[in-house]
Amino acid sequence: MSEDSRPPLPPPAALVEGDLTLHGRVMPASNATFVGEIGDLRVVYKPVRGEKPLWDFPDHSLAGREVAAYELSAALGWDVVPTTVLREGPHGPGMVQAWCEVDAEQAAVDIVPGDEVPDGWRHVFDGLDAEDRPVALIHEDTPVLRRMAVFDLVANNADRKGGHVLEMPGGHRHGIDHGLTFHHEPKLRTVLWGWAGEPLAEDEIGGLADLVEALQGDLGESLSHLVRVDEVAATLRRCRRLLEEPVFPTPSGEWPAIPWPPF
């Protein structure tokens, strides 16, 4: 399937309407994460009640952050985040997200032996495997993954692990698990550091410029019901700063740059 012919994601209304039936839990998962169905749509459901408390994010706020991440993605128009809504479910209110059927043969983020970074890939860091052999964490160098990295800069994503990048059959990539986003303090933790120090592309800058507008209008208004008002203001500041200096940042060293474990 080519990227252009991939099936469209359901509109938010399709996920809000209809009964949600659960089929099971996703394991392993750090929060209570269920798989279910609304009509013939397969969905993920994370009830607020099942959120694991964290020291640095307010309790019961992760579902709202996941929906805020979807709204930011929708405003950007890059289709990073699958359709996500807040609604009632069998375990109370929570976030419901369209399930994406991935292509298990593809890997956008990978660990390879030694320093063999293949063509078309970007190097993130070197380490040792369980037998002390050198390995490298790498990710693909594609426009669609770059856009996800730009999205993460704006959303201040503190949890972009390899497993939070879904490889879709036609080559598209969706990002998932956006509960740790929109903090007012810098917290970017990601495996997508492969473009650090490089200038943003024209379309990426264009997307950020559109976001500055949107954040001062409808998007800012809708985000303010999902995350704190100071977090919406910080999002606008991050966009503006990126437009002033349109370059992928390098890790600051002030906090862990890579989520652990990275997958």
Residue numbers 171-190 binding Mg ion by CB under 5 A? 177
- Among 74, 109, 154, 176, indicate the residue that binds ligand ADP (CB under 6 A): 176
| CA 72 – CA 79 distance, rounded (Å) | 10
Binding status of residue 100 toward ligand ADP by CB under 6 A:
yes
175 versus 194: smaller Cβ distance to Mg ion: 175
The continuous run of DSSP H or E covering 78 comes out as none
| Smallest separation, CB 99 to ligand ADP (Å) | 4
| CA 108 – CA 202 distance, rounded (Å) | 23
Nearest to 105, CA basis, from 170, 190, 16: 170
| CA 213 – CA 207 distance, rounded (Å) | 10
- Among 36, 179, 194, 262, indicate the residue that binds ligand ADP (CB under 6 A): 179
| Smallest separation, CB 163 to Mg ion (Å) | 6
Binding-residue total with ligand ADP (CB under 6 A): 16
Helix (H, G, I), strand (E, B) or coil at 4: helix
32 versus 233: smaller Cβ distance to Mg ion: 32
164 versus 238: smaller Cβ distance to ligand ADP: 164
Residue 180's binding partner out of Mg ion, ligand ADP, none, with CB under 5 to 8 Å set by partner kind: none
The continuous run of DSSP H or E covering 124 comes out as strand 121-128
Instruction: State how far Cα 156 lies from the chain centre.
Output: 10
What's the burial of 131, exposed, middle or buried (CB within 10 Å: 0-12/13-18/19+)?
exposed
Site residues (vs ligand ADP, CB under 6 A)? 26, 29-31, 33, 44, 82, 97, 99-100, 163-164, 166, 176-177, 179
Please give the residue ranges that form the binding site for Mg ion (CB under 5 A): 177
